[in-house]
């Protein structure tokens, strides 16, 4: 009959200590991996919206999609058949960031915000601002990005330390490991740090906000 050697108390404590050390090492790694997966998912959502906006623009002589009833540009995409309003109230699934506030219960909020300079209802914006046609600064002009507090548009007044790095990660702009996904007018997407976003808070006369013809 085979005899089994019992663990001593010291050996058991050593095993427990090793498990604790491994857990403390692996948990942060797994957490970062999960956050990165969320960032990638959010980036893909914004790309979908950006692609739909360009398709809309091609049908409307270069104009950026906007709903003049007061709804956001994203709702203009669903109302015109460029996206499926799967969350209800004309809101597409791509408007939901996995790390953002839940927008399924609200018909006008979105985790993806448009550049406010595309809004034709504002008297502060000019005709050239409303077009997705490529200007000389198209690779630097933001079209869509992670929103603050699920508002559907974003302007320089939101680019404050409190809003970019808000204590509630679901509300803040830089919610992806202190970065935000930004979709640009030339069709590329980049994750910009919150510190970089703060540099766009001073004036709208920057390529980040408006067309530079």
Q: What is the pLDDT of residues 148-177, one digit of tens each?
A: 998 888 999 999 999 999 999 999 999 999
The listed range with the strongest mean pLDDT (8-17, 56-65, 164-173) is 164-173
SS3 label, residue 188: coil
Confidence tier at 179 by pLDDT (50, 70, 90): very high
Per the listing, tokens 């013809």 go with 213
> Distances from the Cα of 43 to the Cαs of 34, 96, 143, 206, in angstroms?
14, 11, 13, 24
Q: Which residue has the higher pLDDT, 136 or 64?
A: 64
Q: Is the pLDDT of residue 136 over 70?
A: no
Average pLDDT in the 166-194 region? 95
* pLDDT at residue number 85: 85
Q: Which residue has the higher pLDDT, 16 or 123?
A: 16
Question: What tokens appear for 65 in the block?
Answer: 């999609």
Question: What tokens appear for 27 in the block?
Answer: 């948990």
The listed range with the strongest mean pLDDT (19-28, 50-59, 124-133, 158-167) is 158-167
- CA proximity to 184, closest of 192, 176, 172, 196: 192
Nearest-10 Cα torsion for 90, 94, 96, 100? -140
Q: Mean pLDDT of all residues in the chain?
A: 86
Which pTM does this prediction carry?
A: 0.82
In the chain, what percentage of residues exceed pLDDT 70? 86
Adjacent-strand bridge partners of 130: none
* pLDDT at residue number 66: 82
Where in the chain are the domains? Answer: 11-198
Q: Which residue has the higher pLDDT, 189 or 103?
A: 189
* pLDDT at residue number 154: 92
Q: Is the pLDDT of residue 213 over 60?
A: no
* pLDDT at residue number 137: 65
Cβ contacts of 192 within 8 Å, gap of 6 or more: 179, 180, 182
Tens of pLDDT, residue by residue over 107-121, are: 678 899 999 988 887
Cβ contacts of 170 within 8 Å, gap of 6 or more: 99, 100, 101
Q: Which residue has the higher pLDDT, 61 or 192?
A: 192
State the Cα–Cα distance between residues 89 and 196, nearest whole angstrom.
34
Strand spans (E) along the chain: 112-115, 142-146, 153-154, 179-184, 189-193
State the Cα–Cα distance between residues 160 and 158, nearest whole angstrom.
6
Average pLDDT in the 75-89 region? 86
């Amino acid at each position: 009959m085979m005899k089994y050697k019992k663990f001593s108390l010291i050996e058991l404590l050593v095993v427990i200590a090793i498990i604790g050390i491994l857990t403390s090492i692996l948990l942060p790694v797994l957490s970062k991996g999960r956050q990165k997966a969320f960032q990638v998912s959010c980036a893909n959502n914004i790309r979908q919206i950006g692609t739909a906006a360009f398709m809309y623009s091609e049908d409307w002589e270069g104009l950026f999609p906007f709903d003049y009833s007061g709804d956001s540009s994203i709702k203009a995409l669903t109302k015109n058949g460029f996206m499926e309003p799967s969350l209800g109230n004309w809101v597409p699934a791509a408007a939901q960031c996995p790390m953002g506030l839940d927008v399924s219960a609200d018909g006008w909020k979105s985790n993806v915000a448009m550049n406010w300079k595309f809004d034709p209802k504002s008297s502060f914006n000019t005709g050239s601002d409303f077009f997705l046609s490529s200007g000389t600064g198209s690779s630097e002009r933001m079209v869509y990005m992670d929103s603050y507090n699920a508002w559907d548009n974003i302007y320089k007044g939101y680019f404050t330390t409190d809003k970019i790095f808000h204590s509630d990660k679901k509300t803040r702009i830089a919610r992806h490991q202190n970065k935000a996904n930004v979709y640009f007018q030339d069709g590329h997407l980049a994750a910009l740090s919150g510190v970089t976003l703060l540099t766009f808070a001073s004036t709208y006369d920057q390529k980040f906000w408006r067309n530079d013809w």
